[in-house]
Amino acid sequence: MQEYLAHLTVERGLSANTLGAYRRDLQRYLAHLDTRGRLAPTDITPADVEDFVLALRTGSDGGAPLSASSTARTVVAVRGWHRFCALEGLVTVDPASAVRPPAQPKRLPKAISTADVERLLEAASVGDGPGPLRDRALLELVYSTGARISEAVGLDIDELDLTPGRAAVRLLGKGRKERMVPVGSYAVTAVEAYLVRARPILAATGTGTPALFLNTRGARLSRQSAWTVLRAAARRAQLPGADHISPHTLRHSFATHLLAGGADVRVVQELLGHASVTTTQIYTLVTPDTLREVYATSHPRAL
């Protein structure tokens, strides 16, 4: 399993967070195999894998019961390891090849309205000092580009081009795949204000870093701090469900608002950095409210 995790690091370029999740999933699987006396990959049977999936859902192995989505992630890690063993010639039969993760209900990603986005961004810039300027620039950039929060806080200054009319940012997504995403004028204005009036103050307390977004110690802003920034702004703006708004909410809102404005789903796929358009298509699911609205405004005898 250590060789498999090294393979994921070098060959697949998975992020530290994803690798940590895989490691925890596989350690639980190892414990499950240990209770069954399995000492080598050749000892493992399809029943072992199937029983592990059941244990994930029920907690019968002594661990916490997992949701369908968390179970699916764990099954992906287990299947990937068994496939790796087969490719490396450690086994001749893959006992996990027929095991499928539990079906997950299709849910619309959570998004907030454009009016609520504007309230959120305004609330982020309330206050004095460099902090509010940084917070506004961060959230404007995330909403403007649909970046994951890890992509945003991982940005260096030289990965951002603020040239008027063709502003863009280079984002490093999952699997270290790069993509160039346009940056809107509001985000450009907010980032420029931060770079001129706030970042030099924050940088003065540090030892020098190319990071775009800095904390009060002059070091790169962390994902956890960025989450805190968003949560505080949501509460200040008194948004409904403020405690449940996450950085991913802005990414979902970015995609939802683009599609509502007539953007092609494949363009949105490229902007989000999704490997498959199937992932993006969840945003195209029509809500009952939208159905009623379109029917009422389009059918000649609806009213």
Positions marked catalytic:
148, 174, 248, 251, 274, 283
Considering only CA atoms, which of 77, 99, 87 is closest in space to residue 18?
77
DSSP per residue, 101-124: PPP----PPP---HHHHHHHHHHH
Looking only at the bridges linking them, the beta strands covering 160-161 and 178-182 are unpaired
Element holding 189 (H helix, E strand): helix 185-197
List, in order, residues 6 or more apart from 92 with CB less than 8 Å away: 86
Q: Is 179 helix (H, G, I), strand (E, B) or coil?
A: strand
CA distance 299 to 277: 31
CA distance 290 to 274: 25
CA distance 282 to 36: 40
- Which residue type does 143 have? Y
Asked if 182 and 170 count as a contact pair (C-beta separation under 8 A), the reply is no
Own/partner long-range contacts of 7-13 (Cβ < 8 Å, ≥24 apart): 7/84, 8/80, 12/175, 13/175, 13/176
Backbone angles phi, psi at 74, to 5 degrees: -65, -40
Angle at which helices 114-124 and 223-236 pack, to 10 degrees?
110
